[in-house]
Amino acid sequence: MTIPAAAAPRTLYDKIWDAHVVERQDDGTCLLYIDRHLVHEVTSPQAFEGLRMTGRKVRAPERTIAVPDHNVPTTLDRQTGIENPESRIQVDALDKNAREFGVHYYPVNDVRQGIVHIVGPEQGWTLPGMTVVCGDSHTATHGAFGALAHGIGTSEVEHVLATQTLIQGKSKNMKVEITGRIAPGVTAKDIVLRIIAETGTAGGTGHVIEYCGEAIRNLSMEGRMTICNMAIEGGARAGLIAPDETTFNYVKGRAHAPKGAQWDAATAWWKTLFSDEGAHFDKVLTIRGEDIAPTVTWGTSPEDALPITANVPAPESFTGGKIDAARRSLDYMALTAGTPLTDIAIDAVFIGSCTNGRIEDLRAAAEVLSGRKLANGVRGMVVPGSGLVRAMAEEEGLDVIFKNAGFEWRLAGCSMCLGMNPDQLAPGERCAATSNRNFEGRQGYKGRTHLMSPAMAAAAGVAGHLVDIREFAKEPA
């Protein structure tokens, strides 16, 4: 028996996709409508320049939101201007373009400025069921709201600016289910690192991942954003989590969220946004929440993640091209196979980024740091994800805890996640980082990055080496 097309069960991804198709070509390629376009200074100058050269305008400036984040200094003196001339030119170009083309804009000195993927949700621009794009791979973050969100290149930024659409082929559906409950000390970051360790960095290529299961359901919006943020590190175009009461409670009352009768209409539709019983997934991965330990990376790819109780692996334990890659990673990271991960001494701690720069992340780190200090010789930096996160943290007194522990308390930006501004690791410096990529040179030339949760990074700073937060938490401050 053939099921009529209208009744065929659909995934969450299918539903959002279907609601945004403007035109479908015979070969299946679609013209997809884009509800929100987030813009930052690094990947947009050439796109705006393209518009100018062709005499085109921004089709929907009211759906376009610009904020500088990658290049901005995070030091308190940034009101006095940006020292690096190239960075200054990019930030100035965004300022000029945002004003000239009339898009929504949060300039450097606006308290609402911050990392584009933190600002969007915070201001209520990101809503369930939307299509959201940005010239940045971590656009996947917004999938936490049940929005189809992914990174695009600069040519596509220009395409969206000019037409408010994208030419897209549909991805496949992948389901990642985390069953049961996670143990104390285990966070969203540990869940997503574990997922990437299982799938590899290419495991999600060509797919949109829907994260589901009890352990995902129990996460706050902050935690869900951490999970979806790193969907791209598993190769997936986007990550999705079906919206629920947690989502609605987060969205309600935000500056650009619907209000009154529109709120009721919106939530009525949002409640239909879930994968139907029997919907087809091309790939499925299931992990027991109870089996997930605090997880850290040892190498130079996010897939190089292991429980903190493990040892640095031997390259020979891998197969194919990964053997040489692991050998290269160990050399770059200056690690020896067989070393317990908890023996790895660190020089720096970075707490921030679109992965872990939200208020909940700062609270988790501050809880560990309360009454404690960074180990001798370890430097620490806390970079809130937005000016509003910073303000909220200060209201809660978290800044005092960080400063007392010896951390620098910075202004909002992407900062040392990718070191486009002066916040960088020195060659050979080893960092416990809450960001998303441990690639060679990512945080600074020859810098060495270990990815982990905010609590684990804070604890590593105190101990001077990587530690198991479950053991660390037992020690009195």
Question: What CA–CA distance (Å, rounded) separates 298 from 277?
Answer: 39
Which of 120, 185, 235, 313 is the binder for another protein (CB under 8 A)? 235
**Contact set for another protein, span 261-320 (CB under 8 A):** 262-263, 265-266, 269, 301, 303, 320
All residues at 6 or more sequence positions from 289 whose CB lies less than 8 Å from its CB, including other chains: 178, 179, 180, 181, 182, 186, 191, 213, 214, 215
- In the bound state with another protein, the residue whose beta carbon lies nearer, of 9 and 445, is 445
Which of 75, 154, 220, 370 is the binder for another protein (CB under 8 A)? 154
- In the bound state with another protein, the residue whose beta carbon lies nearer, of 22 and 111, is 22
**Contact set for another protein, span 325-344 (CB under 8 A):** 325, 328
- 162 contributes a contact to another protein by CB under 8 A: yes
Interacting span for another protein (CB under 8 A) from 145-153, 185-193, 388-396, 468-476: 145-153
The pair of structure tokens assigned to 221 is 């919006």
Which of 120, 223, 419, 447 is the binder for another protein (CB under 8 A)? 419
**Contact set for another protein, span 427-456 (CB under 8 A):** 427, 437, 439-442, 445
- In the bound state with another protein, the residue whose beta carbon lies nearer, of 372 and 450, is 450
- 86 contributes a contact to another protein by CB under 8 A: yes
- In the bound state with another protein, the residue whose beta carbon lies nearer, of 258 and 464, is 258
Which of 333, 354, 418, 425 is the binder for another protein (CB under 8 A)? 418
Other Cβ atoms less than 10 A from the Cβ of 150: the count is 25
User: How far apart are CB 45 and another protein at their closest, in Å?
Assistant: 4
Place of tokens 């410096």: 429
**Contact set for another protein, span 357-416 (CB under 8 A):** none
The candidate with the shortest Cα–Cα distance to 63, out of 93, 28, 38, is 38
User: How far apart are CB 283 and another protein at their closest, in Å?
Assistant: 15
User: How far apart are CB 155 and another protein at their closest, in Å?
Assistant: 4
- In the bound state with another protein, the residue whose beta carbon lies nearer, of 257 and 308, is 257
User: How far apart are CB 93 and another protein at their closest, in Å?
Assistant: 6
Question: What CA–CA distance (Å, rounded) separates 304 from 193?
Answer: 9
Residue pair 402/382 in contact by the 8 Å Cβ criterion? yes
**Contact set for another protein, span 122-141 (CB under 8 A):** 127, 129-130, 135-137, 139
User: How far apart are CB 186 and another protein at their closest, in Å?
Assistant: 26
**Contact set for another protein, span 25-84 (CB under 8 A):** 25, 27, 29, 31, 33, 35, 42-43, 45-46, 49-50, 54, 56, 59, 70-71, 84
Place of tokens 């960095």: 201
Q: How many residues bind another protein (CB under 8 A)?
A: 80
Question: What CA–CA distance (Å, rounded) separates 19 from 32?
Answer: 9
Interacting span for another protein (CB under 8 A) from 156-164, 174-182, 276-284, 286-294: 156-164
Other Cβ atoms less than 10 A from the Cβ of 315: the count is 17
- 179 contributes a contact to another protein by CB under 8 A: no
Please report, to the nearest 10 degrees, the dihedral formed by the alpha carbons of residues 275, 277, 283, 286 taken in order: 90
The candidate with the shortest Cα–Cα distance to 329, out of 345, 314, 311, is 314
- In the bound state with another protein, the residue whose beta carbon lies nearer, of 121 and 135, is 135
Provide the residue type at 124 as one letter: G
Interacting span for another protein (CB under 8 A) from 163-171, 271-279, 405-413, 447-455: 163-171
- In the bound state with another protein, the residue whose beta carbon lies nearer, of 258 and 307, is 258
